[in-house]
Amino acid sequence: MKILANDGISESGKNKLEEYGFDVDLTKVSQEQLVDYINNNSVSGLLVRSATQVRKDIIDNCKSLKIIGRGGVGMDNIDVEYAKSKDIHVINTPAASSKSVAELVFSHLFGCVRFLHESNRSMPLEGDSKFKDLKKAYAKGTELSGKTLGIIGFGRIGQEVAKIGLGIGMNVIFYDKFNKEANLKLDFFDGQNISFKLSSSSFEDLLKDSDFISVHIPASDKYLFDSKEFSQMKDGVGILNLSRGGILNEEELIKSIETGKVSFAGIDTYENEPNPSIKVLMNSNISLTPHIGAATSEAQDRIGVELADKINDILG
pLDDT in tens, 105-119: 999 999 999 999 999
- Does residue 219 surpass a pLDDT of 90? no
Q: Give me the pLDDT at residue 72, please.
A: 87
Active-site hit among 204, 258, 273, 298: 273
pTM: 0.89
Catalytic residue among 49, 156, 291, 302: 291
What is the band of 74 on the pLDDT scale with cuts at 50, 70, 90?
confident
In this structure, how many other beta carbons lie within 10 angstroms of the beta carbon of residue 278? Answer: 8
CA angle 100, 21, 65 (to 5 degrees): 75
User: For 149-158, how does the pLDDT look when each residue is reduced to its tens digit (9 = 90+)?
Assistant: 999 999 999 9
Active site residue 271: no
Residue 95, pLDDT > 90, answer no
Q: Would you call 55 a catalytic residue per the annotation?
A: no
Q: Is the pLDDT of residue 94 over 90?
A: no
Give the mean pLDDT of 200-229.
96
Q: Does residue 143 surpass a pLDDT of 90? A: yes
Residue 108 appears among annotated catalytic residues: no
Query: For residues 274 and 132, what is the distance between their CA atoms, to the nearest angstrom?
Result: 38
Domains observed in the chain: 2-93+297-315 (3.40.50.720), 98-288 (3.40.50.720)
Q: Which helix (H) or strand (E) holds 158?
A: helix 156-167
pLDDT at residue 14, as a whole number: 97
Catalytic residue among 49, 156, 216, 244: 244
